[in-house]
Amino acid sequence: MESENYTPAVKRSEVEWQEILSPEEYAVLRQAGTERPFTGEYYTTTAPGSYRCRACNAVLFESDTKFPSHCGWPTFYAPLAEDRVRYLRDTTMGMTRTEVRCANCDSHLGHVFEGEGYDTPTDLRYCINSISLVLDEDAAKA
């Protein structure tokens, strides 16, 4: 699951990240925080387009893989490509989960869950913080 030799393409110091990101964005993207459920900008969004990493602008998810799971955060059944995200074992909060990070800049996006029975092409639910994403609606028109 986790690569020992991983090096992100985008490398910045924590001070540089703090200058680029708002305090709320920094708390989620760089400190693996979580936004409150049902409050995020993209929770109910159905607009077509590409979802990019808010920290580095890498395209991560497409709107046609977004589905309503009613969990409180935007959910997708697959990333754009497996090389766009990376996975880490997360044992915080008294449970074992799989954390999802941007492969380009190593920012925290959310978690992925499997085996929940959603009617999607995969058996996966990528539960992603809205604050980790930016929707590029122009990508849908191209």
Q: What is the mean pLDDT of each run of 10 residues along the chain (142 residues)?
A: 68 94 97 95 95 96 96 96 93 90 96 94 96 87 53
Question: In what order do the strands lie in the sheet containing 133-136?
Answer: 59-62, 50-53, 133-136
The CATH architecture annotation of domain 14-141 reads Beta Complex (2.170)
Res 2: pLDDT: 54
DSSP reduced 3-state for 134: strand
The DSSP call for residue 133 is E
Point out which residues pair with 110 in neighbouring strands: 100, 128
C-alpha closest to that of 128 among 25, 23, 40, 31: 40
Q: What one-letter code names the amino acid at 27?
A: A
φ/ψ bin of 106: left (φ > 0), alpha (ψ from -120 to 50), beta (otherwise): left
The DSSP call for residue 64 is G
Residue with tokens 């920094």: 26
Res 141: pLDDT: 56
Res 94: pLDDT: 87
pTM confidence score: 0.91
Domains in the chain: boundaries: 14-141
Taking every pair of C-alpha atoms in the chain, what is the biggest distance, in angstroms? 44
Q: Which residues are catalytic?
A: 127
Residue with tokens 């990376």: 86
